[in-house]
Amino acid sequence: MNQLENLYREVIMEHYKHPRNKGLIADEAYIKIRHKNPSCGDDVTIQTLIEGHTIRDCRFEGHGCSICCASASVLTETMIGKNVDEARVLTDQYLRMVSGVSYDTDQDLGEAEVCSGVRQFPARIKCASISWQAFIKTLEGGAKNDE
Ligand code: ZN
């Protein structure tokens, strides 16, 4: 394992132990989507508050493996304050990154790059993806409080 991979692993463990923006808020203005990954026992709910075209808040709740929980925590930090179009691009780019599909590097994924190592472990790609897939659905807004 090289130094960069070591650093990435440390950041993932740090988010796993000290998750950011964890805990849902009882507010109808938030759009909430839950996704599960039965093969690993991951179960994540993402909650997003959009005002105009800006993501004012992004939160998560759930449980699962370290990759799943850390990627949800990183997601919330990445998205708060972004506009919706930018958030869509970043999510698409992130999902390509963890799947090992080539992607546009013009946009800075920031700390979310720590999940890039997942592409070497096909069984874990879903762990790293479900919170971001749930997030993109909250932007679509249609299915409110989808279980
Ligand atoms: Zn998992």
Q: Which CATH number characterizes residue 131's domain?
A: 3.90.1010.10
Total structural domains within the chain: 1
Q: Does the residue 12 lie in any domain?
A: yes
Burial of 58 (0-12, 13-18, 19+ CB in 10 A): buried
Rg (CA), the chain: 14
Residue 15 lies in a domain: yes
Inside any domain, residue 19: yes
**Interval between CA 2 and ligand 1 midpoint (Å):** 23
* Residue 16 within any structural domain of the chain: yes
In a domain, 144, yes or no: no
Find the 72 Cα to ligand 1 centroid distance in Å: 11
Along the 147 residues of the chain, how does pLDDT read in single tens digits?
A: 678 888 899 999 999 999 999 999 999 999 999 999 999 999 999 999 999 999 999 999 999 999 999 999 999 999 999 999 999 999 999 999 999 988 777 678 899 999 998 988 898 999 999 999 999 999 987 444 444
Q: At what angle do helices 3-17 and 66-79 cross, to 10 degrees?
A: 80
How much distance in Å is there from the Cα of 87 to the middle of ligand 1?
23
Question: Where in the sequence is the domain holding 68, given as residue range(s)?
Answer: 3-139
Q: What are phi and psi of 100, to 5 degrees?
A: 80, 15
Pairing of β 31-37 and β 42-51? antiparallel
Residue 147 within any structural domain of the chain = no
Q: Give domain status of residue 39, yes or no.
A: yes
Query: Is residue 145 situated within a structural domain?
Result: no
67 Cα: distance to centroid of ligand 1 (angstroms):
6
